[in-house]
Every structure is written in structure tokens, then in C-alpha cells.
Homo-oligomer: A and B are copies of this chain.
């Protein structure tokens, strides 16, 4: 009887689910500092992937990059209230820690920091990190106080984990620039890596906020990435006048309809100041509302992210 073949509804042995180890979840600052000290002893390297949860393949590409480069990966899951404006979607922001932990376990992550708001901002908290340069443009102009919240929480997470490398997505290009500036300006030690945007097969940049989109809005939202592809195509075809490129992008977006542009910019990738012609790597970025959902996207024209050198 023991030699009988397995029944059809039982998976062959090589496909029997390997037990996915659920990551250890710590919730206090003292715990994560202690755990990271232990992990980092004997010169082991730590990679940090700071997230607000609601993980998608974009986040997981950062995790994979950290796993490939560092001895241990620490993922933080914290929906940071200080980077949301008073009328923004802090309360509605998608949260699903259980699903996040399953995904992180599948990607081999063993340590997650998921603190409460009170743990990160205890009573009496009063110190903020802010950038009064590139943070004033684009997202900073549309979302006053947003980057102050970002730099403050990232400074805290970097200090708690003390990673060798921290990973951010190019999707938030301006954020990555503000964080690089912070680390350099404040003489912090981690290296900052910026990883490419992960897109759906139809071009939509992955975002935790995509779940807000209705089926019809999701179709309209493709205008964002399509306008960036158009800009790339125009540059490939030799167009160097950014006013022409921007006009064509706007025309494409307006032709789709139902997409309310907040800004569209072709700019120096270090200063975010607008440029009038494509004379080297140039960042094209835009933000728009589709229905009530605010989306952002960007691309590097006349180059790639890896062409950019940051101090």
C-alpha cells in the first residue's frame, strides 16, 4: 500500500509547499535597534527597505535587490502620518500587514519592523528633518509638508536600523533625490540605492494607490505612462525642445480625458529645475488625478537612472 502512487489531488512531492517562514515582526524602537545590532555583528551587512506596506512587485523588487546585495534585509512597514496632508488619504491608505508578511516571507525576509504611530511619534516629539531645496518643487509644491514627513521618518528608520544600504524606488524620483541629499548633507552613513520603476504589462507604474482606481479610471490612467513613452520616442527621434515635448505629452493626456494634470516637468535630474532643451539626462515627471486618485510617474530621458551620479 505504501508503494501506491499519490492521488491526483495531492501535489507531487517537489511541488509540496515549502514552509514559508513568516518574518519576525518587531514593533518597538528598542527591539529593532537590538535585533539589528545582533544581525549586524561580525560585520554582516544590513539592507533596509522602508515601505508603507500594501506591498506590490515594486516593493518586492527592492527587497530582492537588498537580498542580493546584503547579508540581511530589514523591511519596515509604517504608514507615516507626517507625510500626508490633512486632506489626503492617510486613513484610507491600504493596509494589509498579513498579506505583506506572506509576500515578504516568500522573498526570504526574516525581520520586519511594523511600529505604531505612537512608537514613532511619541508624546513630545518635536524634531523634524527638512529640505529647503529640491523638496520645494513638484510634490513639495503640491503637497506642503510631505517631504518633511518623509525625511523625518527616513532619518529615524536609518538611525534605528543603521543599514549599509537602503533601497528606494525610482517611482518616487523626487523622494529619492531628497533622501540622497539628506544623507549627504547630514553625513549619514548608509548608501542609497534607487531601483527601476516596475510597471504592469500595459505600462501603468505599480502603486499601492492603484487599488483606488475603477476599471475605467485605470484605463485613463495609462495616459501617464503613455505620455512618458511618447516623450522618450520624441527624444529618440531627435526632438530636443522640451516645450515641444511637453506640449505633445499634454495633448496625449488631454485626448484621453478624465486625467487632471497637477504638473508636468522636464528638468535637470539633480536640481529639478526646468530645462529648455534635452542636453543630457533629463527627468520627465508628472502628477495627475484620475478620479479622486492621485498618481505620479517619471522617466529619465536621454539616459537611464544608472547614468546619474549622486554624491
Contacts and interface: CB of A to CB of B under 8 A. Distances in A.
B187 A127 contact: no
Interface in A189-235: 189
A79 to B, nearest CB: 18
Nearest to A187: B159
B181 A127 contact: yes
Contact of A126 (B126, B127, B181): B181
Interface stretch (A2-10, A128-136, A259-267): A128-136
Contacts of A159: 186-189
A160 B189 CA distance: 8
Copies in the complex: 2
Tell which of A128, A152, A160 has the most Cβ of chain B within 10 Å.
A128
A103 interface: no
Contact of A130 (B29, B127, B134): B127
Contacts of A189: 159
A135 B124 CA distance: 12
Contacts of A135: 126
Contacts of A152: 186
A90 to B, nearest CB: 20
Nearest to A183: B127
A121 B182 CA distance: 12
Interface in A125-184: 125-135, 151-152, 155-156, 159-160, 181-182
Contacts of A127: 129-131, 133, 151, 181-182, 185-186
A204 to B, nearest CB: 32
Tell which of A33, A125, A133, A187 has the most Cβ of chain B within 10 Å.
A187
A155 B159 CA distance: 11
Interface in A243-278: none
Contacts of A131: 126-128
Contact of A132 (B128, B156, B182, B186): B128
A181 B125 CA distance: 8
Nearest to A130: B128
Contact of A29 (B126, B132, B151, B187): B187
A135 B189 CA distance: 27
B129 A129 contact: yes
B133 A130 contact: no
A135 B129 CA distance: 14
Contacts of A155: 186
A128 B129 contact: yes
Given A126-B135, A159-B188, 5 more contacts: A127-B130, A127-B151, A156-B187, A159-B186, A159-B187
Interface of A: 29, 33, 124-135, 151-152, 155-156, 159-160, 181-182, 185-189
6 contacts: A126-B133, A127-B133, A127-B181, A127-B182, A156-B186, A159-B187
The 3 A-B residue pairs whose C-beta atoms are closest, nearest first, are A126-B133, A127-B185, A159-B187
